[in-house]
Copies of this chain bind each other. A is one copy, B any other.
Amino acid sequence: MSTHAAIAAHANRAVPGYLVSALAMTPTAGMGAAVQPRNPADPLASLGHSKVHERETTLFSEGDAAGSVFRVLSGMVRLYKMLPDGRRQIIGFLQAGDMMGLAFASQYLYTAETVTATTIQRIPRLELDALMDAQPAFARKLLSATTSELIAAQDQMVLLGRKSAAEKVATFLLRLSDRKGGERTIDLPMGRSDIADHLGLTTETVSRTLTKLKSTRLIRILVGGKLDLLDRDALADLAGGF
């Protein structure tokens, strides 16, 4: 059941799912690097077409018919699911190189919205299937990427199920830093409520926790949604193990 329910379990679902998962075609992508449009080493480069979306735009919604796969070339996207009464859980934030829409069902399983202005490559499923047939190695790459997603999802379960507010925020900041190759200065383009809905907290608690980290000199909050990690070791202690 739950996390490790088998296919059999999902066959009972009322709403067929269309997974939105992430895949990096650029394993060495550094800080804030955008995916290059015509990279010969990128098997996806010539597929579909790209478009720039403004900030706070919906790309697709939970339940929409799913015909395409998407890749983020630059910017940031949030994926979330909502409960009927409006409570929201942000599944993840996507950055350059991440993909969404890799499942095998007829509907999208959650909603995707841009956080910042974002360049998105839209690839029709048929084209992706053709590529998988033509290049078996590519199918493995997809499997490997999905697997990485799953690992990240499991870490997030530990965070949501067993960490305190302070541990959650510290972990989140360290993850952002890691994603940028361990940079001391990180971007926080999303709002407090996005962070809260990702960590299973409220905006007030996120704000209070950041204030506390600020007053204990572990971080410094800069203008323009940027943030400095002043004491990585102390933050790692606070995070209580990834």
Contacts and interface: CB of A to CB of B under 8 A. Distances in A.
A149 B19 CA distance: 10
Contact of A8 (B10, B24, B139, B242): B24
Contact of A19 (B3, B150, B176): B150
A175 B5 contact: yes
A106 B98 CA distance: 24
A94 interface: yes
Given A91-B157, A136-B139, A151 B6 contact: no
A152 B84 contact: no
Most chain B CB within 10 A, of A4, A6, A97, A200, is at A4
Contacts of A97: 6, 8
Given A4-B22, A93-B4, A199-B161, A103 B147 contact: yes
Contacts of A81: 154-155, 157-158
A175 B10 CA distance: 10
A65 to B, nearest CB: 17
Interface in A72-90: 79, 81, 83-85, 87-89
A21 interface: yes
A241 B83 contact: yes
Given A1-B179, A6-B148, A89-B162, 4 more contacts: A1-B92, A6-B98, A83-B158, A162-B197
Interface of A: 1-13, 17, 19, 21-24, 26-29, 79, 81, 83-85, 87-89, 91-95, 97-98, 100, 102-104, 109-110, 132, 136, 139-140, 142-163, 172, 175-176, 178-179, 181-182, 197-200, 240-242
18 contacts: A1-B92, A1-B178, A2-B156, A2-B198, A3-B92, A4-B98, A5-B148, A6-B97, A7-B24, A8-B29, A19-B150, A81-B157, A91-B157, A102-B147, A103-B150, A104-B147, A146-B146, A162-B197
